[in-house]
Structure 1
Amino acid sequence: MRRKGLTSVILFMLVQISYSHNSTKGYLLDHASRAAVYICEIDSSINAIGQQTSSILELKGTIIERHSGKAIELATVVLKDLNKWDVTNAQGQYSVKHLRPGIYNIAVTCLGYKTIEQEIWVNNDSFVHHFEMEVLSLGLNEVTVTPIQIDDDLTTSYTIENEAIEHAQISNIAELTSLLPGGQTRSNNLIQASGRIAIRSEQGEEDRPSFGTALEIDGIRMSSNGAIVSEIGTEKGVDTRIISPDNIAKVDIMAGIPSVEHGDLTSGLVKITTKQGVEPLSIKLRTNPYQKEVALSKGLKIGNNGGLLNVSYNYTNSVSNIVSPYNSYERNAFTFRHKKVFGANKHKPLIINSTIAGNIGGRNDKEDPDNFKDTYKKYKAFNLRGGIDFNWNPNLHLISELNLMANINYNDNQSEEYDKESSSSGGAAFHGTEEGYFVGEPYVEGQEFSPLQLIDRGHWYQTTYVDSKPVNYDVRLKIQKNHKRKSISSQFKIGGNYSASGNEGKGVYYGNKLYTPTWREYQYKNEPYLHNVALFVEESFKYTSNNKQQIHLTAGLRNDYTLIKNSLYDNVNALSPRFNARYSFINKPRNRGFKKLSIHGGWGQSVKLPSLNMLYIRPSYSQKLAFVPGSLADGSTYYAYYIQPGEVAKNDDLKWQKSRKYEIGIQGQYRNIRFSLCYFNTVTKNSYTESNQFIPFTYYLTTPHQLADVAIPVEHRSYSIDQQGAVTVIDNTGTLPNEELDKKEKRSFKSVSYGDNASPVKRYGLEWVLDFGKIKPLYTSVRLDGTYYYYKHLNHKIEAVSLGDNHLMSDGSHYQYIGYYYGGSGVANGYKTKRLRANANFITHIPRLKLVVTLKVEACLINSKQLLSEMPGGERSFELDIKEGYIPKPDRGSIYEGKNFVGTYPLYYTTFDDMETKISFRETFYWAYENDRTLYNDLSKLVETRNFDYLFLEDALSAYLSANINISKEIGKRFRLSFYARNFLNNMAKIKDKQTNTEVSLLNSSYIPELSYGIGLNIKI
């Protein structure tokens, strides 16, 4: 890319950003004009640099531990501007070469030590700078137990470090979102928690935001794309309960627009980094009335050249009821992570990280005495993941950094349910997959299932298994070139990745073949894998003026190419452009007034690949009674059915789920007060859903009435049915001729499911943080944070709905109509929500006592949900004339005003006799109301109504709050005590529900967590 062309883009974008915000138009235009001057400086600087040769410098030094003075080995030194880095050798020495004169932002990190971040001016051939690192402890002057928002990040992202995780006593990774602005505490117990993460969204929304949230652990992508039918948590995202938080060094949560190197996501990205480095044996014990935990971790150096090995293990047992603690969830999470550094002495380090981790556990209520005798439910949550990562810093002219990673993530999620079943009269189970007429047969041990299996009456136990084994492979390559000259730095990266998702499970099957219910074998492992190849390119450009004002831009493009071999679907190509920018007005830490002030903005698109559950929807089958004569002379039962096989329908119009995001925010620091405000807006298109289509077919029915004139005595009869549906009565004695019974042609339909796309989902909101810093005489800091969130979804698809065989026509025959509704069946076709949540955090840290106490007050000021019924041109539903009626009021008003009973008509309907002709419902229904009461009564069954009158009123709750407290205390260097209490005030107040004008108690509600408490002990040996 030409720098001159990039300069023009920068100038254009800054002017556009300034002009688009009228409230600060003059101020921003002034700074935009300054930016233009700086950009001109960039051009002149580049031209000048191009005409001269600068000295190539070296930054080197030693890193030691403060107080003891011992050298720190394997500490990482990173020049953030260039992403150049080195790892200290056994003498604590580091060296970063091929630098030009200038100011560099440097970060020094090492497990167990407080991170150092400084600005360094490198100005001679061999510049020496030494660092002293402090051992992490509550005795330090600064301890961070809240999320950190990175000031110079181009997009909104938060880092939650180990100290905050330990202080909050997090057991479930999904609970980390409660620490974010406006986050609300939920259950931390594994058996009660959802175990899934949604960023800037809420569970249960149309586009399944937790499915669109990407989760990585040490670079290993935890994908749920391999899920198929009956999978526990299908398309709900990764179950985070299998992950232990005890070995986590930090968690990065990217809520904004991530780099293009990250794909297969639409909601956000969560990156977990586990501990790496030397650390003593740590033993953690935690307990609360519902849960017990034991965690062990150790980091050790293997010989002189064997590298580092970090090992961790976590055992957790969580119960749902302390009175009857039999329904339990168990976690046995383990991690083995090895790190080997090559070339540290030559200061061209190659780091090889290898990881093997996983979990053995799951849920079990086998011993619960409250269950029916001997019955139980349990499922296995087994996970095994492994990866190897090569990270090389060659300090070459064309390559600054090269990263190659390969990993695999395998799950075994077998569920098992043992239930008591019974039948008073016997029956039939359907196993046939071919079209035709079939007669029920008893199961014969050792043989295959018959298409129509007879099941005797009686009592029995049946075990149902769901065997699902999702697997995901991932290989990534990234090459990065970093460059800096004076005040200008740039990072260019290019790379790609290959991923494959599949499922090696058997699917659903049963233990007792004699009583296996209606079921057709469908093995997940027979379905093709989903393959995806992605390429990306990204340029990051930063300019810093002499007075520390800064322009930082990043633009990138990602292309995903999806290939599904041997399937109904064609290859799919999807582009994801992304752009982020930050303009820092002020960066003067020594100022008495404003020390920092910047604005940032971004726009981008991203694509979420489908799960196998969406691509391979299980075939459906229709079975219709063809002939049942009643009990035979020997007491046995004769069943004849017609089976119409379903089929997997390919949707040629199926598109990959895509989100469009943009955000704009401001961050700064005035004296000791830090603040940030960010507006975000997201539209998700083509979210995954399932739709049906109805295909008509005919079959033949022979009723028992046809037997009335048969001459063959009942005791001598047997029956047969051919593939044309003709029933023949046979005289077993051979005395009388066989008689063929009359049959009647019947029309019906089969339902075929297929993967489809839902209508767009819209959401926007504000996030804010106001941190007043520490009040030194009180050792206390105050932090206020919150979020306003708005969500709206309307279904604009026309969906076919059948009432099925449970409804009859006026003449007693099966219901013959199919309704086609705008927005699907139901009175509502969407809803909108509004949430305003605000938190106050009071953090007391007394270094002399090695004590941290946090009090968090969580308030929900607005919590509302309103059902919607809308279509182009107006409201989709209408007020009814009377509660029991189906005709609109003559003078009807809006369904959103006041209490009223409402109804919804389909747009049109079809009949079984002619499913191609679409008949206008409203016009026909009004005519039938006046002229044909039979037709009116039959069509009225397609009218959607509800028997209460407040359906479309806003369901808003009055404000409510809860309070949590956390305490951490270090005793010496080896012991640490922790205590927490959630909703420790045990708020049982009543709040008002505006929709029903009633009061709802917060006691045992889902609005605030129940009163809970726990203690923990951490021992270092």
Structure 2
Amino acid sequence: MFRIHLIILLFFGMTTSVLAQGVTLSGVVTSQKDGQAIEFATVLLKESGLWGVSDRKGRFTIKNVPTGKTTLTVRCLGFATRQLTVVAGENTGSVPIRLDEDNLKLNEVEVVATRKRDEATTSYTIDRMALDNRQVLNLGDIMSLLPGGKTWNSTLMDNSRIALRSDGGEKGNASFGTAIEVDGVRLNNNATPGETLGAGTRTVGTSNIESVEVVTGIPSVEYGDLSNGIVKVNTRRGKSPFVVEGKLSQHTRQIALNKGFDLGRNAGLLNLSLEHARSFSDVASPHTAYQRNAFSLHYMNVFLRTGMPLTLNVGLTGNVGGYNSKADPDQNLESYEKRRDNAWSGNLSLEWLLNRKWLTSLSLKASLSYADRFYEDYSHTSSASTQAYIHTLEEGYFVAADYDKNPTSNIILGPTGYWYVRSFNDSKPLSYDLKLKADWTKRFGRVMSKALLGADFSGSNNHGQGTYYEHPRYTPTWRPFRYSDQPTMNNLGLYVEEKIGVPVVAGSTFEITAGLRNDLTFISGSAYGTASTLSPRTNARYIFWQGRQAWISDLSLHAGWGKSVKLPSFQVLYPTTSYQDRLAFTPGSTAANKAYYAYHTHPSKAVYNPDLKWQSTHQVDVGFEARVRGTRINVSAFYHKTFNPYMATVVYTPYSYKYTSQAALERIGIPSAHRKYSIDRQTGIVTVTDVTGAKPPVQLDYKVRNSYLVNRKYENGSPTERYGLEWMVDFTPIKALRTSLRLDGNCYFYKGLDEKLFADMPAGVGSTMSNGQPYSYIGYYRGSSNTSTANTASASVSNGSLSRQVNLNATVTTHIPRIRMIVSLRVESSLYQYNRSLSELRHGTRGYAVEKGEDFFGKPYTRDVRDRFVVVYPEYYATWDAPDRLIPFAEKFAWAKENDRRLYNDLARLVVRSNYAYMMNPNRVSSYCAATISATKEIGDHISVSFYANNFWDTQQKVRSSQTGLETSLYGSGYVPSFYYGLSLRLKL
């Protein structure tokens, strides 16, 4: 049904385009200050999507503009954005447009995030003034500017990840589903093995960011490979003086240079940015630090400006930096870590405004990004006895050998004493993207229609070597896993979208946008082959009034629903091979304190799951925007349900191997000093040879041991839910005091409850049962508490969590244009904070409340239980000899207590329990607050100084936790940032 509606919309729009009537709109853009012409100013027509760019004389011309009212948005670097309304077809001559310089002399300056108007979904814009006032060091710092956001002390020592409309420690891979783009280049983390997190942001230079758009609602189908919103970063583009900026805080030093060159004679613009930033964690010992050396080069030019303007953008960005503790004299025993964190990306875009009845514009974008992440670890280690270092990649029995005698042995004996181990990890993810998009803008009477059709092709792979060691002699048990051997994941996205605006009555307008995206994922060399997913999305908005002279001057409602799909990462598609190493022979130590152990090794590749589905999120976003007697109110409500989140489980397969104990050596008659041990690779039989030849070789007796092969399998977990309310209220400014007040906040609810049945052996594979055999029972538990796909699902008391919070921030801003100064005070408060661990199922009992920590039987656990230990049984268990027969655990466990004590003791080890009686108590933290102050002062047209202080009163307030009943100070608690301050200086030359 959705596809039928979409086809009807597209057909309607395309057939009516031939009926549209257009006129030519022209104008001149000049500076308000001196009347000089402004070149490269972009003039965008809101209703039709047409645009033009001013020439050296400030002139612009846009043809085939639909008649009637149209809103012009004029932007240029260094000038304040201006909007004005003209009536196309009635205006004669050239439209004069004057732009004010973007500085604190403006009557209105924003130092907070603003709701992006003219959007049918929830999105926010953060401009350069807000970034400067916040002194953003890391792109992730912008989260504190969103409704209900909290300030933290920014540092490059932490590679923060952005996760929209979520909180830490939640299921559903929220940061992995949050997309980040810088000038259209996606920060892709799909090809990074070992994690399923969003892309890190500390390599992105912040000094050349012009604005950031955060779409927390329903994004256009143009954007794929996401499930939790998108952050779009726009860097400086345009002519500008030299801007030198220096920032100083307690743990960070930053200096940057930006310049926009006008190459003259229609040769275009060139923007250059250089930035150096260095963060350290300890002021007393600033040697261990992370540094970012970011650069960007961007070229822009517009051809055919008076006819069919063609805009060319070419960009190159990069970072050379990383972490190094080698120079730190305080490091223990000369150990250190070094991390090279280099990144480069290039992008090219062509946007051609054809402005024809059958095609409005055409754009082509291409990007390539490459990262060089190289980690070096130099650590001290020691051992009093030799240890077996296993390196074999093949199945069979192998005995340890001295490295000096056989350096290529499958198992070598490690050294004794003290030594250093140098290890490396080499990761070089590469991603590329090619996008082609066309749009048609049509008008049929008073109905405006815009159709969008596009395709994008993207790919990810990794050219890194993976983990390896400097010297084979000191290499511990390890196997190589070369990232470069893994295939490439490619994705072809096809999408279509239609937006229709219909005037209704009394100046009101109804807008609806509907789109459909189809992603075809090609995973060469993988059993998953080709996968196809559909993502329908729709947004609607009803504008009741806009700009009228009345008590309520503006009022609009919006609502949207959409599905977005997140592609899997290499961690899900190409997990490392698992190796099971079982001790097969224990000969005891020689006089030289060497033990030539033998092991049986079995490699196992990850299990292919034909039922694996791509993770997706269904989103609902509704809200309204109004201006009531000068007070602007924005409210948005959302509901997110993430389906099929990626999770790792373990598959246990029974197998047997031969084990020879030290007792088998007691009667062989060969002195220990003359013994040489060997083991048959296939049979596992140990042979002892007399190196003097005095005694014949002896084959030792053995026992057959039963164990399990442990293999990883990726599956889809249970859905997670998030919903909440966000608001921003900007009160009418107090003109006499040049002061304004904003209240922003959010209510947030999260519930993640996993009910996936998975296998686990919490007793440990190496432990033994009552009969002396290796532990052989497998527990099948319902629900895991794991929140990261880097770890396999494991048995735990909790199988989920619940959280609720209410945050309210008040920002008082005083802006005095005459002295070019702005001061803001922001009070951030947590009015309600509640979270608790869950151990429950929708149907049935999962856990039992017991009086003592060592008890196994109690009453069924429910949420109202307080201060009790909780034990959780597996739902089923299986034996080694019948792994496919699942035996109900609770019934058998109760029976064994009275009838089979040995079985009872063995099964008891499958029971997991809470460590503390208060562990499952709900945790309600009492309300608290902290304040941040910031100020910016411009001195003339060339100097600007900013200062900020986080938690400037250094609050010592105490908060109470209902989980433990204890009160703790906010000082050092992590609830609020510690007292922190910073200063910045900007020079325009």
The TM-score normalised by the length of structure 2 is: 0.96
Hey, what's the Cα distance between the residues in 2 that align with 1:184 and 1:634?
61
SS of match in other structure, 1:450: coil
Pairwise CA distance, 1:115? 0.8
Q: 2:768 aligns with which of 793, 797, 808?
A: 808
Hey, what's the Cα distance between the residues in 2 that align with 1:484 and 1:53?
7
Distance 1:93 1:874, change over 3 A: same
**Unaligned stretches of 5+ residues in structure 1:** 11-42
Q: 1:830 aligns with which of 800, 803, 816?
A: 800
Give 1:206's aligned residue. 171
Is 1:533 matched with 2:481? no
For 1:222-266, what per-residue CA distance to the aligned partner results, in whole angstroms no more than 9, with x for missing partners?
A: 11011113xxxx222111111122111110000000000000000
Hey, what's the Cα distance between the residues in 1 that align with 2:556 and 2:386?
75
Q: 1:282 aligns with which of 243, 268, 286?
A: 243
**Conserved? CA contact 1:800–1:818, under 8 Å:** yes
- Kindly provide the amino acid, as one letter, of the partner of residue 953 in structure 1: N
Query: RMSD in angstroms over aligned alpha carbons?
Result: 2.2
Hey, what's the Cα distance between the residues in 1 that align with 2:979 and 2:593?
61
| Correspondence list, 1:889-908, <5 A | 889=859, 894-908=862-876
Q: 2:948 aligns with which of 980, 998, 1010?
A: 980
Q: Which moved more, 1:935-944 or 1:791-800?
A: 935-944
- Kindly provide the amino acid, as one letter, of the partner of residue 873 in structure 1: H
Is 1:685 matched with 2:643? yes
**Conserved? CA contact 2:385–2:594, under 8 Å:** no
Hey, what's the Cα distance between the residues in 1 that align with 2:285 and 2:594?
46
**Unaligned stretches of 5+ residues in structure 2:** 785-794
**Conserved? CA contact 2:724–2:746, under 8 Å:** yes
Hey, what's the Cα distance between the residues in 1 that align with 2:311 and 2:43?
13
Give 2:931's aligned residue. 963
Give 1:88's aligned residue. 54
Q: 1:403 aligns with which of 344, 356, 363?
A: 363
Is 1:413 matched with 2:373? yes
**Conserved? CA contact 1:402–1:478, under 8 Å:** yes
Hey, what's the Cα distance between the residues in 2 that align with 1:843 and 1:292?
27
**Conserved? CA contact 1:394–1:401, under 8 Å:** yes
Q: 2:608 aligns with which of 629, 632, 650?
A: 650
Hey, what's the Cα distance between the residues in 2 that align with 1:613 and 1:393?
42
Give 1:1014's aligned residue. 982
**Conserved? CA contact 1:895–1:902, under 8 Å:** no
| Correspondence list, 1:723-872, <5 A | 723-802=682-761, 803-824=763-784, 825-872=795-842
Pairwise CA distance, 1:828? 1.1
SS of match in other structure, 1:804: coil
SS of match in other structure, 2:578: coil
Hey, what's the Cα distance between the residues in 1 that align with 2:582 and 2:802?
42
Give 2:788's aligned residue. none
**Conserved? CA contact 1:299–1:310, under 8 Å:** yes
Q: Which moved more, 1:141-150 or 1:496-505?
A: 141-150
Hey, what's the Cα distance between the residues in 2 that align with 1:352 and 1:1011?
46
Pairwise CA distance, 1:8? 10
Q: 2:301 aligns with which of 324, 331, 340?
A: 340
Q: Which moved more, 1:318-327 or 1:677-686?
A: 318-327
- Kindly provide the amino acid, as one letter, of the partner of residue 871 in structure 2: G
For 1:167-215, what per-residue CA distance to the aligned partner results, in whole angstroms no more than 9, with x for missing partners?
A: 1111111010111111111121222x44211111123321221111111
Is 1:244 matched with 2:210? no
- Kindly provide the amino acid, as one letter, of the partner of residue 510 in structure 1: Y
Give 2:790's aligned residue. none
Distance 1:894 1:648, change over 3 A: closer
Hey, what's the Cα distance between the residues in 2 that align with 1:92 and 1:1020?
24
SS of match in other structure, 1:381: strand
For 1:607-638, what per-residue CA distance to the aligned partner results, in whole angstroms no more than 9, with x for missing partners?
A: 00111111111111111122222245776542
Distance 1:912 1:162, change over 3 A: same
Hey, what's the Cα distance between the residues in 2 that align with 1:291 and 1:510?
33
Is 1:227 matched with 2:186? no
**Conserved? CA contact 2:342–2:371, under 8 Å:** yes
Is 1:558 matched with 2:558? no
Q: 1:373 aligns with which of 333, 352, 365?
A: 333
Give 1:32's aligned residue. none
Give 1:1000's aligned residue. 968
**Conserved? CA contact 2:362–2:437, under 8 Å:** yes
Q: 1:156 aligns with which of 111, 114, 122?
A: 122
**Conserved? CA contact 1:59–1:126, under 8 Å:** no
Distance 1:516 1:2, change over 3 A: closer
Is 1:953 matched with 2:921? yes
Give 1:180's aligned residue. 146
Is 1:386 matched with 2:354? no
**Conserved? CA contact 1:761–1:794, under 8 Å:** yes
**Conserved? CA contact 2:548–2:554, under 8 Å:** no
Hey, what's the Cα distance between the residues in 1 that align with 2:894 and 2:118?
65
Hey, what's the Cα distance between the residues in 1 that align with 2:712 and 2:468?
21
Give 1:510's aligned residue. 469
Hey, what's the Cα distance between the residues in 2 that align with 1:8 and 1:528?
41
SS of match in other structure, 1:775: coil
**Conserved? CA contact 2:14–2:358, under 8 Å:** no
For 1:639-672, what per-residue CA distance to the aligned partner results, in whole angstroms no more than 9, with x for missing partners?
A: 2211111222211111111000011111111120
Hey, what's the Cα distance between the residues in 2 that align with 1:222 and 1:873?
42
Hey, what's the Cα distance between the residues in 1 that align with 2:415 and 2:292?
42
Hey, what's the Cα distance between the residues in 1 that align with 2:589 and 2:513?
78
For 1:431-472, what per-residue CA distance to the aligned partner results, in whole angstroms no more than 9, with x for missing partners?
A: 111111111123359x87421111121211111111111111
Distance 1:700 1:488, change over 3 A: same
Pairwise CA distance, 1:959? 0.2
**Conserved? CA contact 2:707–2:774, under 8 Å:** no
Hey, what's the Cα distance between the residues in 1 that align with 2:890 and 2:61?
80
Q: 1:705 aligns with which of 640, 643, 663?
A: 663
Is 1:330 matched with 2:300? no
| Correspondence list, 1:895-934, <5 A | 895-934=863-902
**Conserved? CA contact 1:384–1:409, under 8 Å:** yes
Hey, what's the Cα distance between the residues in 2 that align with 1:763 and 1:136?
39
**Conserved? CA contact 1:60–1:126, under 8 Å:** no
Distance 1:940 1:93, change over 3 A: same
Give 1:68's aligned residue. 34
Q: Which moved more, 1:973-982 or 1:924-933?
A: 924-933
Higher relative contact order (CA 8 A, sep 6+): 2
**Conserved? CA contact 1:86–1:348, under 8 Å:** no
SS of match in other structure, 1:267: coil
For 1:392-433, what per-residue CA distance to the aligned partner results, in whole angstroms no more than 9, with x for missing partners?
A: 112222111111000011111111110011111111111111
**Conserved? CA contact 1:896–1:952, under 8 Å:** no
Give 2:789's aligned residue. none
SS of match in other structure, 2:902: helix
**Conserved? CA contact 1:747–1:912, under 8 Å:** yes
**Conserved? CA contact 2:381–2:420, under 8 Å:** yes
**Conserved? CA contact 2:385–2:593, under 8 Å:** no
Pairwise CA distance, 1:140? 1.1
Hey, what's the Cα distance between the residues in 2 that align with 1:635 and 1:253?
63
Give 1:22's aligned residue. none
The TM-score normalised by the length of structure 1 is: 0.93
Q: 1:318 aligns with which of 279, 288, 292?
A: 279
Hey, what's the Cα distance between the residues in 2 that align with 1:506 and 1:55?
61
**Conserved? CA contact 1:881–1:887, under 8 Å:** no
Distance 1:625 1:845, change over 3 A: same
For 1:827-850, what per-residue CA distance to the aligned partner results, in whole angstroms no more than 9, with x for missing partners?
A: 111011111000111111111010
Hey, what's the Cα distance between the residues in 2 that align with 1:340 and 1:71?
17
- Kindly provide the amino acid, as one letter, of the partner of residue 840 in structure 1: A
Pairwise CA distance, 1:743? 1.4
**Conserved? CA contact 1:94–1:347, under 8 Å:** no
Pairwise CA distance, 1:104? 0.5
Hey, what's the Cα distance between the residues in 2 that align with 1:633 and 1:763?
64
Hey, what's the Cα distance between the residues in 2 that align with 1:2 and 1:182?
35
Give 1:479's aligned residue. 438
